[in-house]
Amino acid sequence: MEPRQAYEEILQLMHTATDLNAAAALLSWDQETYMPPLAADARAEQIATIASITHSILVGEKAQRLAEYFREHLSSADGELSETEKRIARVFTREVQRATKLPEEFVRRKARITSLAQQAWKDARARSDFALFRDYLAQIVDLMVEEASLRGFSEHPYDALLDVYEPGLTSSVLDPIFEKLERATRSMLDYVRTASTIPEDAFLRGYFPRQAQLDVAYRIVAALGFDFKAGRVDLSAHPFCTSFSIRDVRLTTRIDESDIRPCLFGLIHEAGHGLYEQGIDVALERTFARDGASMGIHESQSLFWENIIARSEEFWHWALPILQEHFPSQFGSISPRQFYAAINRVQPSLIRIEADEVTYNLHIIVRYRIEKALIGGELVVDSVPAVWNAMSTDLLGIEVPDDARGCLQDIHWSFGGFGYFPSYTLGKLYAAMFRTALLNAMPQAPEYVQQGRFAPIREWLQEVIHRWGRTVEPAELVKHVTGRSLSEEDFVEYAWQKIRRVYGDS
Amino acid sequence: MEPRQAYEEILQLMHTATDLNAAAALLSWDQETYMPPLAADARAEQIATIASITHSILVGEKAQRLAEYFREHLSSADGELSETEKRIARVFTREVQRATKLPEEFVRRKARITSLAQQAWKDARARSDFALFRDYLAQIVDLMVEEASLRGFSEHPYDALLDVYEPGLTSSVLDPIFEKLERATRSMLDYVRTASTIPEDAFLRGYFPRQAQLDVAYRIVAALGFDFKAGRVDLSAHPFCTSFSIRDVRLTTRIDESDIRPCLFGLIHEAGHGLYEQGIDVALERTFARDGASMGIHESQSLFWENIIARSEEFWHWALPILQEHFPSQFGSISPRQFYAAINRVQPSLIRIEADEVTYNLHIIVRYRIEKALIGGELVVDSVPAVWNAMSTDLLGIEVPDDARGCLQDIHWSFGGFGYFPSYTLGKLYAAMFRTALLNAMPQAPEYVQQGRFAPIREWLQEVIHRWGRTVEPAELVKHVTGRSLSEEDFVEYAWQKIRRVYGDS
């Protein structure tokens, strides 16, 4: 077989699989946005059927043969395949390998248990009763240990799970970074606790009619560059971004009429994901490389726009007049500086998804350490609530009053998402590193933001990050953009700057 | 192989195929309702991929083997399979046979030509220039002749195409019915033309704000019994009904703020389709029998609710107060009788989709006769515009000013939908026959309508028609419900009653 012919064959396979994935993604999108309630059972079957067909393509004889061919011949395909084509072939090979590691029987067993576990978790959280979830969590930890062993690892079993979301990252790299991040965050919290000024943020709450909130949010994400001809926005209980092709990117947001933040910052966050998806090179369409480099890199893009840009003081010089136009009585007398300070208030709190930029990472560190200890066999399921509460009190300085606001607050464990949580903090660290790189490459970027000129920044992100899609591994990408390896330093420096600006006397 | 085992195997195949069909239907629904414009190309690929996978399942070795098994062993499966299961197996067998008749190469060629033809048709209609469509129409007629020969027929090649939409129906049955229908319609038109009264209908036009129209339409279809927990309504340029499961039925409507009719009657029409889909026995879920008995039977259900019920005088005794509540100045002084007369005005017009209940069938007769003559080789494509215009003038009594309002007005030929048009009139004839059966079974039905009590009528329809889904052939179903075979008589009697009531002096 010639490389060209083999490449055409993997393209065909990927076209079929990605078209099926797009259909499954639409079935899921519809489920969260428009699907009538009684349709749930049939919908679950439809999604499962499509996932199973896609899986059978990946583990099928043809895909295996082609993946093996490229594992052996990729390096010798120079001149016959372009650099992009070789990278796409590598992504294909990796995806086939991944799919092959988990036997059908395991995938089904995991799907069944996690499906029941999600229901049990809902009940347990609603009643704040860990006992209702305990047995499922124990089964899921066993599943995860089994999965780690099926996937394989060199040092710690948790690394196999981390690799699913952040290819190549290991806990031996992550542990010292999280330790340094923890120390820096403790210092910041000490600084904030003893600061003489506390930003006023009461004006962020009030009555903000639904449609006006959407109008503002649409205007702002359109200005950031989200292309509404190649995407759209709908409402869902939990905001998310999904895409069915490079030119079909769906964002959702939610509205709280008593608080201006969830809809606006939620949509900017999802638009950050959306700009990544819309910015992928069209040459990667209908291949496995039409995707983000990793969960953490994807999150860095949403957080770049949500935090680095839209929680900067410069941004509100441009954006506040828009808010004032739609909500004159609420914001008419607020200055950009006041608004900036209000949205950057730092305050330890119980719920991860409501946490500020600084304390958020502490929530992740708690989860990460508990996950790793569970998978490593150093912690038993029964001890999770007590350990959670002790760690939370130690790190955040607040008591956990019940498990609903403690170890039961997040859905991730119930669907078997061990290894997922670190992505959120990785996104923050990457975003801060990309900020440094942007300021080096484009020192005038803050002025652009102040003028509402987002195109140069978006184009820079597209050039260095978005267009590559999944053809690059996260570590390679970060090295290429920043010249350095993953580190907490830029985030810590960025966060200190902000805290001093908000809480200092300057 | 035992019947039970074979049945379980066809169930598995049907589950996979119907889940894929549901995904393809959602991709199409989304395309018409929410999809951003730039997504069109990728979407077309996604739909084509899924259609091709479904097709490959049906023509695959396993499906062939199972279909053959049931062709041979179905009659001997008594006692091992229930009556419903045997009927489902028969639908499976028929579907596999159908899929096998058209070779992959033909399906692709047809898809390619009709895709180009649809674009050409749009241009041709926009410029009212038949020449721009002529070559494509010629190719499509050739394709249709080829398809008829691939599908097979006993008498006329057109019968093979008719059978796609109305299994078992032939032109030898249809021709005399259409001739009698034509004669009766001519008489009705003569009566209307010489009537002394012309119903006033100016009050149907005005300014009807979008949301108020939707509120009225939702209220009314909810009262008819459309279950919004198992379905929903969205907007699209061309109203349609689709479903992804028995409990996920999607209707669309469109809004003309200057005319009360398109949104309201459009949604009642689609809700008629939707009630059929929601009324199918859940035992047929995820099988090929979860569908209407035929296109004509499906249309009979939409027309039953749109015309027989919602264009009856009794209906407006109940429904007019709702309209008056939402549009007091427009309808405050209108009586149910006046409203009834206005929406039943008979007036020959050029555009099929705008035609009234009576003249509508003449549009279908024109198309049917031209289609049959083209397929039978008695008419050449170049003569279509002239023949169209002559037949229209003869039947409708009006001159066709241009091809855009003549033979280019409908999309069907461009997608290869020869054999489709008769379904519309079949729906009218079936609906009138079902009306007769309903009045026999439930003489008080008109009183129920006047009281807004639609449940007994809907339940009767579900009992005799809906629940059977596609386990019955249309002729069998009609015979079972009405005791008779397809006939134009009931429609003609029903239409005469209405015309006399609207145009007579009574």
Are B36 and A286 in contact (CB < 8 Å)? no
Given CA atoms B91, B93, B98, B103 in this order, what sign does their dihedral have? Answer: positive
Rounded to the nearest angstrom, the minimum Cα separation between B178 and chain A is: 41
Q: What is the pLDDT of residue A88?
A: 97
Are B42 and A248 in contact (CB < 8 Å)? yes
Whether pLDDT at A506 is above 60: no
Q: What is the pLDDT of residue A339?
A: 98
Whether pLDDT at A424 is above 90: yes
Q: Which of A34, A35, A229 sits opposite B37 (nearest CB)?
A: A229
Strands A231-235 and A241-245: unpaired
| Torsion angle defined by CA atoms of residues A212, A213, A215 and A221, in that order, rounded to the nearest 10 degrees | 170
Distance CA B286, CA B279 (A): 15
Among B425, B426, B417, which Cα is nearest to B375's?
A: B417
Q: Supply the mean pLDDT for chain B.
A: 96
CB B93 within 8 A of CB B58: no
Contacts of B37 in chain A (CB under 8 A): 229
Q: What is the pLDDT of residue B76?
A: 80
E strand or H helix that includes residue B244: strand B241-245
Distance CA A160, CA A143 (A): 13
Looking at the annotation, which residues of B are catalytic?
A: 270
Q: Which two tokens stand for residue A200?
A: 């006023």
Rounded to the nearest angstrom, the minimum Cα separation between B11 and chain A is: 13
Q: Chain B residue with minimal CA distance to A286?
A: B42
Contacts of A31 in chain B (CB under 8 A): none
Which of the four pLDDT bands, split at 50, 70 and 90, describes residue B506?
low
Cα within 13 Å of Cα(A494), Cβ side: 26
Q: What is the pLDDT of residue A84?
A: 95
Are B23 and A19 in contact (CB < 8 Å)? no
- What are the pLDDT digits (tens) for B301-326? 999 999 999 999 999 999 999 999 99
- What are the pLDDT digits (tens) for A181-191? 999 999 999 99
Per DSSP, the residues of A118-165 read HHHHHHHHHHT-THHHHHHHHHHHHHHHHHHHHH--SS-HHHHHHHHH
Our separate counts of H helices and E strands in chain A read 21, 3
Are B36 and A228 in contact (CB < 8 Å)? yes
Contacts of A23 in chain B (CB under 8 A): 23-24, 26-27, 46, 50
- What are the pLDDT digits (tens) for A1-40? 899 999 999 999 999 999 999 999 999 999 999 999 999 9
Q: Which of A27, A36, A229 sits opposite B26 (nearest CB)?
A: A27
Q: What is the DSSP letter of A36?
A: -
Strands B231-235 and B248-253: parallel
CB count within 10 Å of CB A150 equals: 12
Contacts of B44 in chain A (CB under 8 A): none
Q: Chain B residue with minimal CA distance to A38?
A: B230
Contacts of A278 (CB under 8 A, 6+ apart): A226, A227, A230, A231, A246, A247, A249, A466
- What are the pLDDT digits (tens) for B9-41? 999 999 999 999 999 999 999 999 999 999 999
Q: Which of B41, B42, B230 sits opposite A39 (nearest CB)?
A: B230
Which of the four pLDDT bands, split at 50, 70 and 90, describes residue A77?
confident
Q: What is the pLDDT of residue A505?
A: 67
Q: Chain B residue with minimal CA distance to A19?
A: B46
Q: Which of B15, B231, B285 sits opposite A36 (nearest CB)?
A: B231
Contacts of A232 in chain B (CB under 8 A): 34, 36
Among A421, A429, A446, which Cα is nearest to A484's?
A: A429
CB B252 within 8 A of CB B240: yes
Distance CA A356, CA A346 (A): 6
- What are the pLDDT digits (tens) for B55-107? 999 999 999 999 999 999 888 877 899 999 999 999 999 999 999 999 988 98
Are B45 and A286 in contact (CB < 8 Å)? yes
Report the predicted TM-score, pTM, of the whole model to 2 decimal places. Answer: 0.95
Are B42 and A230 in contact (CB < 8 Å)? no
- What are the pLDDT digits (tens) for B389-427? 999 999 999 999 999 999 999 999 999 999 999 999 999
Are B244 and A23 in contact (CB < 8 Å)? no
**What domains are there in chain A, each with its CATH number?**
158-209+272-506 (1.10.1370.30)
E strand or H helix that includes residue B251: strand B248-253
- What are the pLDDT digits (tens) for A217-262? 999 999 999 999 999 999 999 899 999 999 999 999 999 999 999 9
Contacts of B218 in chain A (CB under 8 A): none
- What are the pLDDT digits (tens) for A328-344? 999 999 999 999 999 99
Q: Supply the mean pLDDT for chain A.
A: 96
The stretch A443-468 carries a mean pLDDT of 98
Q: Chain A residue with minimal CA distance to B53?
A: A16
Distance CA A204, CA A212 (A): 15
Are B50 and A245 in contact (CB < 8 Å)? no
Cα within 13 Å of Cα(B117), Cβ side: 24
Query: Which long-range contacts does B337-342 make (Cβ < 8 Å, 24+ apart)?
Result: B337/B313, B338/B199, B338/B200, B338/B203, B340/B311, B340/B312, B340/B313, B340/B316, B340/B502, B341/B199, B341/B200, B341/B201, B341/B502, B342/B199, B342/B200, B342/B201, B342/B203, B342/B204
Is ipTM over 0.85? yes
Taking one residue from A and the other from B, the number of pairs with CB-CB distance under 8 angstroms is 114
CB count within 10 Å of CB B44 equals: 13
| B231 bridge partner residues | B249
- What are the pLDDT digits (tens) for A273-283? 999 999 999 99
Which of the four pLDDT bands, split at 50, 70 and 90, describes residue B467?
very high
